[in-house]
Every structure is written in C-alpha cells, then in structure tokens.
Amino acid sequence: MDALETRELRYFVAVAEELHFGRAAERLGMAQPPLSRAIQQLERRLGVRLLKRDRRGVALTGAGEMLLHEGRAALDATTAAARRTRRAGGADSPGGPRNRLVLAVKAGASHELLHKLLDAYAAEPDAADIEVLPSGTCEQEGMLRDGRADVALMHAPFNSLAGFDSEELMTEGQIAVLPAGHPLTARRALSLADVSDIPGLPLARWSRHGTYPPGPGPEIHDQTQLAQLIALGRTVAVYPDSARAWLWAEHAAVPLTDAPPVVTHIAWPAHSSSPALAGLIRTATRL
C-alpha cells in the first residue's frame, strides 16, 4: 500500500528527529511500546528498513532519510491546509470577518516598503485584512510551508525561494549597525572584513533554521534584544540599508562596500488560488 496516514508520519518524524524511542514517545505523549510497534508496522507496509537499531542507539537508513524529508513536507502541507482553510472560512460566514491574509516579514527589514504595500493594498476594493507577522532570520520559509503565513517578504541571498512563487520588489545595499560614538562610525564606508573582527565588539548571531553559527557574538532572539545590545556596545550587526528606519539615537549606520546586495521578494506558496493573495501580489508589483 502506498498511502500513508498523518498519524504514522507524525510518529516516524518524531523518532527520526529524536533518534531515541523514549524521547520520541514522551514528545508525542504516548507510551514507548505502541510507538515501537507502529514504526515496525510502517516498515512492513513500506517493505523497507527505516531505522537501524543496535546497542549504540538508533540511526536512519537511506530510506529513513528520504521519509523524514518527505514526511516533514507532508505534515507541513496538511497543517498549512487546515490553517489557511480556517482563515478563508471566516469570509463565508454571514456577518463574519473579512478574508484575512497573514504576511510574514523579517523584523526590522523593508520597513518603508512594507508601509507602502499595506497602505496601497488597503485602498484596493475588497481588500482582505492583513495580519503582519514579524519573524527572525530565515523563519519566513517555515511559516509559508506550514501555513502560519500566506505570503512573505523574503530577502535573497539569506532566504531560500525554492518551492515558492515570487516577484522581485527591491534591491538595496547593506550597512553595519554600530554603537554611536564607536571609532569606526567616523568612516564613510566599511568592508565586511572591517566589521568581522572588531575588538570587544563581536558580530551578532541570529539563528538560521534553528542553529546559531559559531562565534563569540551574542545569540540574538529578537529585534529589541539586538537593538539594546548594540546600544550598550556589546555587538555589531549587518543589515539591509532599509533597517535605518528602526535605529535608535544610540546607533550609527555605516555603508558596507563589499556586502552582496539584498533583493527583497514577495513570495507565496506555488499554485495558490487565493483571490485575495493575487490582489496583494498585483499591488506589490505596482509599487
């Protein structure tokens, strides 16, 4: 049989991510023996080994790696379908709320563009309500895939557009955001090398896909934390030029001469049939 149940996929993904049946069972809120039986039954149905089990622990086979990748995508798709259906359903109820779109944006980026987009779209007839959902670096991709967002402003080369439809909206340079009064703020321009090894001022580290890059800089969890640490002289950050909109008086911005340009795209799930989303995309491309 080729059909897989959502429950089976959820069980397998938990075991594959934890590589430990006890932790996976605890995560799923169930006992370990029925979880082990469910995985064994799944292997029999598919006719392949998904996991290697020995005294050293649990590891994925090649087939298991494939099912983990495909299973995550399938679970995201079913979750997304439920979330987007609930949002769209509100517009079908007499006296209910208007159709609603969730727009994921990286906190602090594309500030002026976002203002223009929201104002222009609100002036359109039959415009849907837009909920703006700020996110961290690279989080927009996951939000689109699992339905937390319907559309996103994404930034190449930092975000992957694979699997999405998109339109390019804006290209800009990058800046170093430093504490006001730091000696480097007297320079008209800096290079990436200049800001990568400033004594006492390490680069801030954002999580990407759940992992922080190595380095001595502080792990950043949100925009407010970053702004405060820069103002206190504890870190420096590299941002698109549009980030100037949120800088504090305690910050200073210096252009970077050799940083790659940042291209802002509006992106959405491929093959979307939402009329409200189509209207938002049309508005964005006219800006």
Distance CA 264, CA 106 (A): 11
Full-model pTM: 0.75
Give SS3 for 28: helix
Helix axes 275-286 and 111-122, enclosed angle (nearest 10): 120
Beta partners for 263?
156, 171
Q: What is the pLDDT of residue 223?
A: 86
Q: What is the pLDDT of residue 167?
A: 97
**Do residues 134 and 71 lie in contact, with contact meaning Cβ atoms separated by under 8 Å?**
no
Q: What is the pLDDT of residue 78?
A: 86
pLDDT tens digits, one per residue of 102-123: 999 987 778 889 999 999 999 9
Instruction: Name every residue whose Cβ is closer than 8 Å to that of residue 254 and which is 6 or more positions away in sequence.
Output: 175, 176, 178, 184, 185, 187, 188, 189, 190
Q: What is the pLDDT of residue 87?
A: 77
Angle at 40 between CA 24 and CA 15, to 5 degrees: 20
Low-confidence residues of the chain: pLDDT under 70: 1-2, 90-98, 209
Q: What is the pLDDT of residue 109?
A: 76
